[in-house]
């Protein structure tokens, strides 16, 4: 179909069936992202999410841009200067090489992740996994990574929730890009309290020793990308990275959809 006919039919369709925002449920005018004048990443955000989120919810999603910690990806409050290693990364041992995230864990992105995880709003898996894919290609290439490993849920939590959100974020595009992923080898050997209610120190204690490998030989020599929905203090991904490095991974990098702006 010629493009003007396509956009005409889209306009007519939108007038009859206006899209409904997956975050706030409001009907909205589909503006095709109205390519923002901000940095590239804002344009990407507009393109990918205009079909799913209203303008106001999109404006509440804040992509992470430099300067940020070159190790853990923490966005610095000051928007001036170069990226460098943050004080937490200088003080605490990081078993991963670098961690990167799409956006700040706040506003629209936090809301969207909560709706997917706790309200089981599965329609959000499409835009959120598209954002995870964009973040992957912003920082890595297909040849940089041998294996993608989602942060596992304990089998009890998996039964309660019915799905692992980390796996949902990568499954579709990892298959398309032919990047192997393994949701079985790394597993949680004990049920832990949800990290959300714990202090920073308690989080590190709570998660220590909570992960094991079914076949440690499966990881040896691999360049691993560990994926999760949110990076808060980094306790969970760091503990997973420790186990993977102990099994002989060449390196472990971290990709999360969101990142707490304050560690």
Give contact residues for Zn ion (rule: CB under 5 A).
Answer: 21, 23-24, 54, 57, 69, 71-72, 74, 86, 89
CB of 171 to Zn ion, least distance (A): 26
CB of 110 to Zn ion, least distance (A): 13
Residues 27, 20 contacting (CB under 8 angstroms): yes
CB of 158 to Zn ion, least distance (A): 30
What number of residues does the chain have? 263
Residues 88, 238 contacting (CB under 8 angstroms): no
CB of 177 to Zn ion, least distance (A): 28
The end-to-end CA distance of the chain, in Å, is 50
Nearest residue (CB) to Zn ion, 57 versus 132: 57
CB of 64 to Zn ion, least distance (A): 12
Nearest residue (CB) to Zn ion, 200 versus 215: 200
Nearest residue (CB) to Zn ion, 69 versus 207: 69
CB of 53 to Zn ion, least distance (A): 5
Residue written as tokens 């990574």? 145
Nearest residue (CB) to Zn ion, 96 versus 222: 96
Q: List the structure tokens of 238.
A: 């760091």
Max CA distance (Å), the chain: 60
Residues 239, 213 contacting (CB under 8 angstroms): no
Residues 96, 252 contacting (CB under 8 angstroms): yes
Cα(15)–Cα(18) distance, rounded to whole angstroms? Answer: 6
Radius of gyration of the chain (CA): 19
Taking Cα atoms as reference points, which of 260, 263, 249, 261 lies closest to residue 96?
Answer: 249
Nearest residue (CB) to Zn ion, 107 versus 216: 107
Cα(67)–Cα(21) distance, rounded to whole angstroms? Answer: 31
> Do strands 251-259 and 223-231 pair parallel, antiparallel, or not at all (unpaired)?
parallel
CB of 197 to Zn ion, least distance (A): 24
Nearest residue (CB) to Zn ion, 69 versus 237: 69
Nearest residue (CB) to Zn ion, 110 versus 186: 110
């Amino acid at each position: 179909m010629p493009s003007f006919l396509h956009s005409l039919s889209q306009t007519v369709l939108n007038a009859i069936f206006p899209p409904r925002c997956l975050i706030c449920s409001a009907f909205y005018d589909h503006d095709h992202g109205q390519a923002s004048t901000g940095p590239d990443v804002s344009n990407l955000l507009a393109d990918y999410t205009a079909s799913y989120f209203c303008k106001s919810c999109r404006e509440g999603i804040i992509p992470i841009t430099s300067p940020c910690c070159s190790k853990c990806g923490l966005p610095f409050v000051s928007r001036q200067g170069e990226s460098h290693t943050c004080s937490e990364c200088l003080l605490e041992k990081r078993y991963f090489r670098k961690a990167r995230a799409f956006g700040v864990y706040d506003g629209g992105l936090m809301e969207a992740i909560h709706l997917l995880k706790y309200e089981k709003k599965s329609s959000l898996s499409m835009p959120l996994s598209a954002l995870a894919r964009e973040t992957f290609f912003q920082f890595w290439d297909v040849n940089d990574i041998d294996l993608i490993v989602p942060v596992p849920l304990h089998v009890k939590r998996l039964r309660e929730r019915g799905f692992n959100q980390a796996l949902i974020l990568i499954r579709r595009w990892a298959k398309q890009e032919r990047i192997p992923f393994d949701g079985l080898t790394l597993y949680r050997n004990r049920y832990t309290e949800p990290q959300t209610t714990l202090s920073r120190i308690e989080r590190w204690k709570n998660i220590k020793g909570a992960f094991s490998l079914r076949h440690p030989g499966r990881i040896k020599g691999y360049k691993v990308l560990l994926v999760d929905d949110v990076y808060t203090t980094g306790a969970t991904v760091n503990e997973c990275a420790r186990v993977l490095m102990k099994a002989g991974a060449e390196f472990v990098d971290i990709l999360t959809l969101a990142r707490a702006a304050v560690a």
